Every structure is written in structure tokens, then in C-alpha cells.
Amino acid sequence: GDSVTQMEGPVTLSEEAFLTINCTYTATGYPSLFWYVQYPGEGLQLLLKATKADDKGSNKGFEATYRKETTSFHLEKGSVQVSDSAVYFCALSFSGGYNKLIFGAGTRLAVHP
Amino acid sequence: ETGVTQTPRHLVMGMTNKKSLKCEQHLGHNAMYWYKQSAKKPLELMFVYNFKEQTENNSVPSRFSPECPNSSHLFLHLHTLQPEDSALYLCASSQDLLGADTQYFGPGTRLTVL
């Protein structure tokens, strides 16, 4: 079945460090890919998305590129801040049909001053 | 603020209680969702409604009973729950059901079953 796999956390970084959170997927078709972020005590917010191969989603300094050949959608940021501390979820859904999101398990990021 | 509100934010109930969770979206969307978020598990889709009609019940036990009186409101009625039902329950909405529309999430209700 369709699934999303994320690197296990927690990821602990110092402020201004480079961030990579790995995400790979298994899908029978060509899904759209998403990164959602959940700050402490809040619900999920869409961070960025990409709807087709080689698309790059970006927002708030975060980027992720849809790589069909490696079935990946890794999240990157060049310089993290303490305020980026949150749980990050990778997810997929299929454009042509039912809007059903399939999530990875989430990766917790902790950024220290 | 995502335009999706949920009440209450926290709920503690015994196994014999009956309670309801409420979700309201102010975005003019047509589709609404209930998700369960348990510790160390991926988010689980529970129910989907489109134009007030239930389109998916993801093998959820009958002790969870959803209700969608209109496109803006979604309820989750709870009765005779088990301790393993303790989790964060998230509501979401999207413009439509078809396509990869962005889903907007509420802050969730943290449920504890004693």
C-alpha cells in the first residue's frame, strides 16, 4: 500500500545550523507531496507542497524537491532558528482522486540557542 | 489561526461517560475530516465528510459517532471509550474532496480516558 517513511527523531541542532529531514514514499501512482509542521500545543499547518516531479516547494526558508527517481521529498533549511522547534510531518495524497492524506510518523526538531 | 476551531481543547472522561467534540471551520470549505493522533504513531484518518455526507469511515469503532449538520460544523460523539482512545483528536477542512487540496487543521482536542 501507499506509505510515507520519515527519519526518526528527535533531531537536535544549534541555532543557524543546516537542517535536513529525510522523507521517502511508496505509492502506486504519482502523488502530491506535502510537509506539515506542528508547533507545541497546536494543530498541523501546511509548510510547503509539490504536485509533480522536479517541483520545488518552499516557504519560510524551508525547501523540498519532489524526486521521482528516488521517491523522496527531503526537507531542508539553511539556517534554523529556535522558533523552528516543532514536529514535522511528511505526507502524500493523489491529485486525481480522493483527497486522503497519508502521513509519516513525524520528526521532532529541537533547536538550541 | 487557520480558520478551524475546536472545542474543548482538553477533555478528561471516564469510560462510562458520553461527551462530544466540536469543530467549526470559517473558510467556506466543503469537506471536513476527523483524525486521531496518538503518541509515536502516524496520524490516522477516522472520518471524512463532503457536503455533509459521510464519504469514509476508516474502520473506526462504533463508540465514535460523527455528525455533520452542515458544511461548517463537525462533531464527534464519544461513548464508552477505552483508555487506549486517549489521544489528540484533530479536525481539518479542505475546499473540496477531489484533488490534492490543502487541508487546514484545527488545534485539536486532547482527550484523556480514565
CB contact under 8 A, B103 and A96: no
Max Cα-Cα span within chain B:
40
The pair phi, psi for residue B101, each rounded to 5°, is -65, 145
What is the structure's pLDDT at B86? 95
Task: Name the band, by pLDDT with cuts 50, 70 and 90, for residue B50.
Answer: confident
Interface of B with A in 50-89 (CB under 8 A): 55-56
Of A39, A38, A4, residue with least CA distance to A23: A4
* Distance of alpha carbon A37 from alpha carbon A107, whole angstroms: 10
Cell numbers standing for residue B109: 482536542
Q: Does A31 touch chain B (CB under 8 A)?
A: yes
Alpha-carbon gap: A111 to the closest alpha carbon of chain B (Å): 20
Percent of chain B with pLDDT over 70: 96
* Distance of alpha carbon B4 from alpha carbon B6, whole angstroms: 7
Alpha-carbon gap: B11 to the closest alpha carbon of chain A (Å): 14
Q: Does A45 touch chain B (CB under 8 A)?
A: yes
Instruction: Give the residue on A whose Cα is nearest the Cα of B37.
Output: A105
Long-range contacts of B43-49 (CB under 8 A, 24+ apart): B43/A44, B43/A89, B43/A101, B43/A103, B43/B90, B45/A100, B45/A101, B46/B76, B47/B76, B48/A100, B48/B97, B49/B74
Angle, vertex CA B111, rays to CA B109 and CA B112, nearest 5: 160
Alpha-carbon gap: A3 to the closest alpha carbon of chain B (Å): 10
Tens digit of each residue's pLDDT (9 = 90 or more) over A28-58: 888 899 999 999 888 899 999 998 999 999 9
Q: Mean per-residue pLDDT for B64-86?
A: 94
CB contact under 8 A, A89 and B103: no
What is the structure's pLDDT at A99? 67
Q: Mean per-residue pLDDT for B102-110?
A: 93
Question: Least CB-CB distance to B106: which of A43, A97, A98?
Answer: A43
Instruction: Give the residue on B whose Cα is nearest the Cα of A93.
Output: B100
pLDDT of residue A97 exceeding 60: no
CB contact under 8 A, B102 and A49: yes
Angstrom CA distances, A96 to A24, A29, A55, A102, stand at 21, 10, 17, 15
If DSSP codes are grouped into helix, strand and coil, which group holds residue B85?
A: helix
Alpha-carbon gap: B8 to the closest alpha carbon of chain A (Å): 13
Q: Mean per-residue pLDDT for A81-100?
A: 85
| DSSP codes joined into one string, A50-99 | E-STT-EEEETTEEEE-BTTTTB--EEESS--GGG-EEEEEEEE-TTSB-
The pair phi, psi for residue B61, each rounded to 5°, is -60, 150
Instruction: Tell me the chain B residues in contact with residue A36 when contact means C-beta distances shorter than 8 Å.
Output: 105
Please tell me the total number of residues recorded for chain B in this structure.
Answer: 114
Q: Are B90 and A88 in contact (CB under 8 A)?
A: no
Tens digit of each residue's pLDDT (9 = 90 or more) over B4-48: 999 999 999 988 889 999 999 999 999 999 999 998 788 889 998
pLDDT of residue B58 exceeding 80: no
Q: Does A6 touch chain B (CB under 8 A)?
A: no
Tens digit of each residue's pLDDT (9 = 90 or more) over A9-29: 899 999 999 999 999 999 988
